[in-house]
A and B are shown apart, each in its own frame.
Chain A
């Protein structure tokens, strides 16, 4: 898929664990894992907003479009 999820990179930069982030943004660790691996069909704006808020970043830092 041309849209890549760089969430794990941002999490590493902010030194936050999956468990902590999942708890803070209100989704399960399993869903966060799926999101990190790009195996979901979509992301809710509310989820994206919570991730950006807790990681202090922009949506573009997490989602990147790359031509195939």
Chain B
């Protein structure tokens, strides 16, 4: 029972850290913009940043290309904090917990895969006579593709737990 309490506390602490990290991130971004007049945070991709600065007339197109990543951040943050909330309440094998885990893992998979193709796609659409050069990071792909497998195993464990409850 002690370990379950520990897990609940760790989940709660991690959720608070998540909120703190997002809060600090936005605080720094807004502070930099207000005091220095520039965003101190970037898109996390030097090539995309360069395109953004170079092709100011194509900001709308670049924003559309970039928007799925923002969607991933928002949805990922939402489902991650919901997942941690469920875990902090001790709902380790609840259906909602498994659903949130699946969402977080598939959002992460989509995020990493889309990020790999985003800059080459943007370059291809923005710059004339350019070719698409994909830079694949095998380690990221392996780690990310393991996530759905882990979630699947987690679901299987939940089924076992359900079966155990049928033993009196």
By a beta-carbon cutoff of 8 Å, the part of chain A in contact with chain B is 27, 31-32, 34-35, 40-44, 47
Which of B163, B167, B168 has most chain A Cβ within 10 Å?
Answer: B168
Which residues on the A side are within 8 Å of B166 (C-beta)? Answer: 40-42
Size bin of chain B's contact surface: under 10
Which residues of chain B are near A44, meaning CB under 8 Å? 167-168
Assembly CA distance A35 to B166 (angstroms): 10
Cβ contacts under 8 Å, A31 to chain B = 168
In the complex, A41 Cα to B166 Cα: how many Å? 6
How distant is A33 from chain B, measured CB to nearest CB, in Å? Answer: 10
List, sorted by A's number, 19 A–B pairs whose CB atoms are closer than 8 Å. A27-B168, A31-B168, A32-B168, A34-B168, A35-B168, A40-B166, A40-B167, A40-B168, A41-B163, A41-B166, A41-B167, A42-B166, A42-B167, A42-B168, A43-B167, A43-B168, A44-B167, A44-B168, A47-B168
Instruction: List 16 additional A-B contacts (Cβ < 8 Å) besides A27-B168, A34-B168, A42-B168.
Output: A31-B168, A32-B168, A35-B168, A40-B166, A40-B167, A40-B168, A41-B163, A41-B166, A41-B167, A42-B166, A42-B167, A43-B167, A43-B168, A44-B167, A44-B168, A47-B168
B residues in contact with A27, CB < 8 Å: 168
Residues of B within 8 A of A42 (CB): 166-168
Using Cβ atoms and an 8 Å threshold, which residues of chain B touch A47? 168
Tell me the bound Cα distance from A31 to B167 in angstroms. 9
Q: In whole Å, how far is B43's beta carbon from the nearest beta carbon of chain A?
A: 53
What residues on B are CB-neighbors of A35 within 8 Å? 168
B4 to chain A, nearest CB (A): 19
Output the residue of A32, A35, A41 with the most chain B CB within 10 A.
A41
Write out the residue numbers on chain A whose beta carbons fall within 8 Å of the beta carbon of B163: 41
Which residue of chain A has its CB nearest to the CB of B167? A42
